Amino acid sequence: MIYLDNAATTFPKPPEVEHAVIEAFHTLGNAGRGAHAATLDASRIIYGTRERLAELFHAQDASRIAFTGNVTESLNIAIQGLFEPGDHVITSVCEHNSVLRPLYLMEQRGVKVTYLSADSKGRIAYNELEHAYRPDTKAVVITHASNLTGNVTDLDRIASFTQKHQLLFVVDAAQTAGVLPIDVQKQNIDVLCFTGHKGLLGPQGTGGIYVRKDLDIRPLLTGGTGVQSYSKTQPGEMPTALEAGTLNGHGIAGLYAALGYLQKTGIGTIYKQEMALADRFYNGVKDISGVQIYGDFTTENRVAVVSLNIRDLDSGSVSDWLWEDYEIAVRAGAHCAPLMHEALGTKEQGAVRFSFSHFNTDEEVDAAVRAVWEIAEET
């Protein structure tokens, strides 16, 4: 199998991630639920993972990192926990449904939302920011990079806007955590939502949320925390405020190992390798007759995603063809980004997404290029 679906989940994981998860099954208890060796081991690995994440994102301290099951949960915590009826939020058409659907829900509850448009290359219309601002605007919620086009959002430009108007800045880092440098303090990010199983190279079922100091978010869930058990309300201190119930200790142990791998290898080194593979693929397919590529390739500020269509072929049919005849794994369809497809004009056809890992090889990329060429030739 040639796996080119790393924007969905990275595969394979570093060997130490698997080893850490297996070891955790033999050693970890429930963190914060006792004082014996097993629960203390769990507490240590969870705290150590918080520390590594805080270091990666340049958070003020590890307590500002709360664990979730995935970035979708993190975004729901942020969006449902920060906004009230009468608030106004700015977002974009480039968002994943993990942002859009919580915002649609909040619209039903009386929150107003403005959607920045995008051009035919999927580039956000930053010039619409000032026009979108209203006296009741409370926040900008934005993706750091599109899972469909690979375009990277200019966070510095948006941060300047949010600072100017004293707005909250909420960032969806699903495609960039562990891929691009993120400094929540320098970039004035108030809330950063991330997943563990993509660029962070950890297991599925892991994710988290960074919350700026002195910012409170209304909990999405309440329940057992292992502390303040006689209180009728969820503890207000981070990270406990946003962590009701037992954490995924086994998955977090794998994430701890993955973060160690990233520290050792360097996210800059990994990014350079991934982009070299993506560029190799792009340059191999861009001139094939009948191939339409989506996204802005005039800039190097991208993630390793290339989405395309072949003539008027249904994207799902192309994906099936790639798998059945070539054993190449890609993603087709809407990619949970409906408004982006409307902007690109691909609402009906969808798109075929190739996304790369530093574990891929030049030979695998060349095989994918040949496959696209052969399919285009046959149609």
Q: Is a pLDDT exceeding 80 seen at residue 224?
A: no
User: Stretch 186-198: mean pLDDT, rounded?
Assistant: 98
Superfamily of domain covering 267-378? Aspartate Aminotransferase, domain 1 (3.90.1150.10)
- ∠28-239-29 over CA atoms, to 5°? 10
- In contact, 192 and 217? CB cutoff 8 Å: no
Mean pLDDT, residues 271-284: 98
Rounded to 5 degrees, φ, ψ at 30 are -100, 115
Residue partners of 163: CB distance under 8 A and separation at least 6 = 188
CA 252 to CA 41: how far, in whole Å? 12
Q: Does 229 have pLDDT greater than 80?
A: no
Distant-in-sequence, close-in-space partners of 66: CB < 8 Å, separation ≥ 6: 208, 209, 211, 238, 239, 241, 242, 243
| 250-262 per-position pLDDT tens digit | 999 999 999 999 9
At 223, the pLDDT band (50, 70, 90 cuts) reads confident
Res. 56: pLDDT tops 90: yes
- The answer to whether 212 and 184 have CB atoms below 8 angstroms apart is yes
In Å, how far are 205, 262, 309 from 350, measured between CA atoms? 27, 33, 8
**H or E stretch covering 335:** none
Bridge partners of 294, per DSSP, are 307
pLDDT band with cut points at 50, 70 and 90 for residue 189: very high
pLDDT tens digits, residue range 108-161? 999 999 999 999 999 999 999 999 999 999 999 999 999 999 999 999 999 999
15-265 and 267-378 agree in CATH topology:
no
pTM of the model: 0.96
Give 280's pLDDT tier (boundaries 50, 70, 90). very high
- Mean pLDDT of all residues belonging to the chain: 96
Q: Report whether pLDDT(237) > 90.
A: no
Topology given in CATH for the domain delimited by 15-265: Aspartate Aminotransferase; domain 2 (3.40.640)
Q: Is the pLDDT of residue 232 over 80?
A: no
Q: Are the beta carbons of 173 and 193 closer than 8 angstroms?
A: yes
- Are the C-beta atoms of 154 and 176 separated by less than 8 Å? no
Locate the domains of the chain by residue range.
Answer: 15-265, 267-378
Question: Do you know the residue count of the chain?
Answer: 379
